[in-house]
Amino acid sequence: MLQLVPLLLLAFLLPMPLLAGGKVARIAKHIDAEIVTQQTALQPGEPFRIAVRLQMDSSWHIYWKNPGDAGLATTVDWKLPEGYTISDLEWPQPHLFGDPPEVCYGYDGHVLLMATLTPPATITTPTITIGAAITLLACQDVCIPGKADLSVAIDVASTSMETEWSQQFQENEQQVPTSGEALKGASAQRTAQGIRLVVPVPANLGDVWFFAAEEGVIDHSGQQPATVQNGTLVVMLPASPFPNADVTRLRGVLAITKHQSLDLDLPLLAAE
């Protein structure tokens, strides 16, 4: 027993992961939800990474901002102190669930719905509280709606360190769709059968799939044949059976590998 004492002392002396998260809420019986941060403390005027972390029970899933043919979009309504602002949610590349004629978009396992919080230039309190109202639908063989009000207290300090969630933030950021230079020359045009999407051929090309961000744009469960023509990737998107005539842009995520995707927001050209 005495031989264990040095080992126990060593365990207490080793650096432990720093915690930065709010109380975990159980939603819809099968989802754990909490607010987590990438750093232990924030500084006045400096951008601060924050997220709602959702952990699903095995074989359960939740839905993306467009659920697809069924389901309910997950929503996050932030509650901020006066003077604070927050960016739009950064949605990682979603997954496909179900089989035709009913295909849905969402997440299983765990996911961080990240955002960037910007504090005011002057903060007079040692801590601040951030809240978030969550609504979601958890599904397996059955579906259960759920909601929760989350909160987290964050220290205000001149120095900060990474939390235990920092690596998950970094991993999640790699799955957030990118835009910019990769989309130069991209176009979307209506055809008699749907939409012809053209983008420059990515360096790494795997299984291609387009996740529409809005309803009434494409048939979510239809085939999306993709070919490479003259150095460009051409994807034929099937028309929605319930088209929305007000849609004038093609918005969504084009998955080009399992963990890499492009964020599209293109004018939807009329058919020739």
Domains of the chain as residue ranges with CATH = 17-173 (2.60.40.1250), 180-269 (2.60.40)
- Whether cis (ω within 30° of 0) applies to the bond prior to 243 is no
pLDDT at 272: 81
Model pLDDT for residues 146-177, shown as the tens digit of each residue: 999 999 999 999 999 999 999 999 999 999 99
**pLDDT tens digits for 40-69?**
999 999 999 999 999 999 999 999 999 999
Is the model's pLDDT at 5 over the cut of 60? Answer: no
**Residue 13, pLDDT score:** 35
pLDDT at residue number 231: 80
Is the pLDDT score of 211 beyond 70? yes
Mean pLDDT across 80-92 = 98
pLDDT at 18 > cutoff 50? no
With a cut of 60, say whether residue 9 has pLDDT above it.
no
Compute the distance between CA of residue 241 and CA of residue 131 in angstroms, rounded to an integer. Answer: 39
pTM over 0.85: yes
Q: Tokens for 114, please give them.
A: 């990240």
The whole-number pLDDT of residue 258 equals 85
What percent of the chain is predicted at pLDDT more than 90? Answer: 79
Question: pLDDT above 70 covers what percent of the chain?
Answer: 92
Q: Are 38 and 21 in contact (CB under 8 A)?
A: no
Confidence of residue 179 (pLDDT cuts 50, 70, 90): confident
Q: Does the pLDDT of residue 8 top 60, yes or no? A: no
Residue 185 CB coordination number (10 Å): 10
Give the DSSP H or E segment for 12: helix 4-13
Provide the 8-state DSSP code for 221: T
- Average pLDDT of the chain, as a whole number: 90
If you average pLDDT over residues 124-145, what whole number do you get? 97
Q: Say how far apart CA 243 and CA 100 lie, in whole Å.
A: 18
Residue 7 pLDDT > 60, yes or no? no
